[in-house]
Structure 1
């Protein structure tokens, strides 16, 4: 197990390819063939899910052999399994770039500097990324759009971001 507990989703098993135990993996990485270089691919809980021993390109990712799979039935049984890699296996991003996993645990502050909570997760429900915020005062989490308008400043090196949450419909100022 790694010292960095932040996991980045890199792919998903699509099922068997052929009858000899090869598996099709949809890659969520810029270079699908890099999946083999990351080492063992993990379950969301950090345990080893799949160790690719060889891969070749496929239309949505790669087709490959894995140490844990020897039959078509084993490959099909893993269909839909999400595959993760610890954040520390990735290179450091360039200046002014970051991985979404780097947002986890970051403090969320309002324009007055008050702590609203911390980033619990980054979700995407089909439109844009949303930050799930765990409130500093407790209670249910809430979502903040991860847009320039709603999060105008990121100070990741200092562990916080500025939030300008959109005004709720019921809280709008009257128009004059």
Structure 2
């Protein structure tokens, strides 16, 4: 799946004529329609996206092959993936969430803290969900320059300077 990036999720049917409510994960929500075909996570289905209009909590869109409310309802919760080569290049200090998941996390002394399991967005900034040896539960590390001074995608690691007591 490294060659695809999650760009949105279907929240369910919108109306009775096959439109779906789509939650876009793009910085500019409408950009989701510019990445060509979007694929389900398993790659079994592909859709072209035609935006009808913005709606509360997303976009009303038409997906090719979806013509009824029942077909649209059946897609609720499906995450849509775009081919990575269609995605724009990011500035040096920005990252796609998919690139962070699975990276090893070490503290500034080189001690292994764990690996990134997910990136959570709670509105006040991204949080890295870290799971690792000796942790009873996952730890949420703020994804800020202070807490995460180094992200090295090429070497598969993050250097973290977590707030005191976070990993105890």
Whether the TM-score (by the shorter chain) exceeds 0.5 is yes
Q: What's the offset of the Cα at 1:93?
A: 0.9
Q: Distance in 1 between matches of 2:82 and 2:151?
A: 24
Instruction: Give per-residue Cα distances to partners, 1:9-53, cap 9 Å, x unaligned.
Output: 424334133x3323332323234343233233334x433455135
Q: In structure 2, which of residues 54, 57, 62 is the aligned counterpart of residue 58 of structure 1?
A: 54
5+ unaligned residues in a row in structure 1: which ranges?
A: 172-176
Aligned length: 165
After the TM superposition, list the runs of 4 or more consecutive aligned residues in structure 1 that deviate by more than 6 angstroms. none
What displacement does 1:113 show? 1.8
Equivalent residue runs for 1:4-153 within 5 Å: 4=2, 7-17=5-15, 19-43=16-40, 45-48=41-44, 51-52=47-48, 54-60=50-56, 61-135=58-132, 137=133, 140=136, 142-143=138-139, 144-153=141-150
Cα distance between partner residues in 2 of 1:153 and 1:42? 32
Gaps of 5+ in 2: none
TM-score for both structures, normalised by structure 2: 0.74
**Could you state the TM-score of these two structures normalised by the residue count of structure 1?**
0.71
Measure how far apart 1:138 and its partner are. 6.5
Note the aligned Cα RMSD (angstroms): 3.0
